[in-house]
Amino acid sequence: MGATETATQPAAAPPPARACTLCRRFPEVTLSERDRVRLWRWLTWEEAPSFPRPGRTAWMPLADPVPHPRVNGVTLSALKLKGVGLSDGTVAAPVAGDQEYLAAREQPHFGIAPDGRYEKAFSEPAPFGGIALGRAFGEYDNAARLLDASVPTLVPLAVMRYEASFRGEPLGVVVTASPEPTPFRLTSIIAAPGDVRSEREHAHRAHAERALGLRGPLADPDHLAEAFTMLAGAIGASVRRFADAGLYRYSSGWSNFQLCPAWGRVLLVDLDSCLPLAELGAERRGLEILRDAAGALHKVIEAIHMYPQLLRDVGLARIVQRDPVLALLRGFFHDVPAEALRRASAQVWAYALPNAVSADRRRRTAARWTRADREMHSSHKWTIYALGMMVCRSLLAHSELGRAGTPPPDAVGADRAADLLGEDVVYVRWAENQVATMAATTDTYANATPTPSATAIR
């Protein structure tokens, strides 16, 4: 997959200006006059916004960085404009709201039905290239909530409304401010050197090397393995803080996190679909917390398959030795004894490693190793989710976070996955007995002192 970011591609000429109405503004951040003027010109398309990659999000570096409203010594250096328009990587334009983003409706997510069964879930209808006003408010409100909880994230700045609509709801734009001046996500840091497309991205990776405390460049397989594991731990810690702040439903793909080397933090950057845990009953709260933990686990395993440089350059031996699965669990369940975390990691690897070995064998014999070749089979994906729910339940029960709600063991048992996996549920049924044994052993360590992990990034 390589780096997902590309050189900034503004439209050749802006289309006619469009009306834009301010709906909400964050009072703790004040931009300079020239940055306010440029932001308004981008929002109204009097000047074409710049999109760092194909999609609906523009990125505007600030001419005059401003202080972070809550963190001393940190400055806000760029603005993210989600929903301002659509870029295909070459040409950008505003959207009319007359087309649905069908790809999101065709890609199933791991879901939990009202009766607790696991199921394929699909995103709600969304405008192609835009964002509905309600989702724009959602991203703004969730960012404000995380800011109040001191969770590293983007700072909410404004919500705007356009006259165009999608299915009767106005289109919106949500503007957030980042302490990181570049638009690059974690995918850029773990990219193969040949996939880094700009000097700016090379510079960002060099800053990341220093922030991570690496003793050598990311181009070195040992240092890339170390960075991958450290970032997995930082993702786990970020999603834990997210849950502690009372939110759920975060997509933990590596493109949904951003490293700010100057601050030494990994930031949550995609918040429009997140929801408050307080709206759920206790058992359901626990299930959704586990779903986020299992999703983060799945994304670590998926990255090993999907980013070819990890298997090709780093190799499975280095990856397993560093153990990014353990790092992620340690980040999320930092208040659970170390031995319990090691046992949980071993349970996940017992399923994930043979599949990764098989994928690597196919890679070595293939003439070409395309994205389609690298994709995990859907049964592997759902099995990792179901296994992650099981493994993490006992960890949640021994964590402070479990006070929000810990479901009983049968709520994450193999029967819940039977409809989703069909005949492929056989591994989950076998693992259920193994996890039950592990959970009983975990009780032995319940009163032990947790072992915090040492990492340069939080």
Residue-wise pLDDT tens digits, 76-100: 999 999 999 999 888 899 988 888 8
Q: Helices then strands (H, E): number in the chain? A: 15, 15
Distances (CA, A) of 75 to 154, 155, 178: 12, 11, 8
What span, in angstroms and rounded, lies between the C-alpha atoms of 10 and 325? 39
Q: Are 214 and 223 in contact (CB under 8 A)?
A: yes
Report strand pairing: 109-112 vs 118-121: antiparallel
Report the half-sphere exposure of 73 (CA within 13 A, side-chain side): 3
C-alpha distances in angstroms, 450 versus 29, 235, 338, 347, 436? 39, 19, 6, 19, 21
pTM of the model as a whole: 0.93
Look at residue 2 in the predicted model and tell me its pLDDT. 40
pLDDT digit string (tens) for the chain, length 458 residues? 344 444 455 544 555 568 899 999 999 999 999 999 999 999 999 999 999 989 999 999 999 999 999 999 999 999 999 999 999 888 899 988 888 887 777 789 999 999 999 999 998 888 988 999 999 999 999 999 999 999 999 999 999 999 999 999 999 999 999 999 999 999 999 998 889 989 999 999 999 999 999 999 999 999 999 999 999 999 999 999 999 999 999 999 999 999 999 999 999 999 999 999 999 999 999 999 999 999 999 999 999 999 999 999 999 999 999 999 999 999 999 999 999 999 999 999 999 999 999 999 999 999 898 999 999 999 999 999 999 999 999 999 999 999 999 999 999 999 999 999 999 999 999 999 887 776 666 555 455 555 555 455 77
CA angle at 131 for the pair 129 and 133, rounded to the nearest 5°: 155
Q: Locate 397 and state its tokens.
A: 């029960």
- 100-130 burial: b if 16+ Cβ within 10 Å, else e: ebeeeeeeebbebeeebebbeeeeeebbbbb
Tokens of 247: 């939110």
DSSP calls for 382-442: HHHHHHHHHHHHHHHHTSGGGGG----GGGGSHHHHHHHHGGGGHHHHHHHHHHHHHHHHH
Beta-ladder partners of 352: none
Indicate the residue type of 69: P
Instruction: Report d(CA 330, CA 202) in Å as an integer.
Output: 30
Give the helix ranges, DSSP H, for 167-259.
186-189, 199-212, 221-244
